[in-house]
Amino acid sequence: MEQARFGAGLLTGATELGRQIPAIQAQSFLPLETQLGLARTVESLGQQPFLLSQDLARAQAGAGSQAGQIYQTGMQSAIANQQRADAYSPLGSFLSGAGGGAISGLFGGGGFGNLFQSTVPGSQYALARGGSEGSLTWRD
């Protein structure tokens, strides 16, 4: 009988121990969970400055982009104004207007273009513009 009671006690103890196994296993992970919790805390402490630096970089990139746009707009206006200034030639406008206007009658109806195209009397040669750098030359 005593052996039966002893066996029943062992069985009861084993059953009780079996019920405690999940709790024992959970407690065995507590040191690891503590270390993982500390690692998460350290990681979050490192992430905050990193995320802050990303936000600052985003803001700086936006400001740089906006400054570039402002610079580009000003440069485009300056370029357009300079092109208009470079395209205007008072002498060229005068000569263009004179070539087809009232002054053209003074030079045989052909404007200034025929000014140097006259033939020398008694000769087959004519004075013409040409040669190197627009010099005047005699030609046949």
pLDDT tens-digit series, residues 34-85: 889 999 999 888 888 899 999 999 999 999 999 999 999 999 999 999 998 8
Report field, pTM of the whole predicted structure over 0.85: no
Q: How far apart are CA 58 and CA 56, in angstroms?
A: 5
CA distance 57 to 63: 10
Based on DSSP, count helices (H) and strands (E) in the chain, helices before strands.
3, 2
Distances (CA, A) of 94 to 66, 103, 114, 123: 45, 11, 17, 34
Are 90 and 98 in contact by the 8 Å Cβ rule? The answer is no
pLDDT score recorded for residue 128: 47
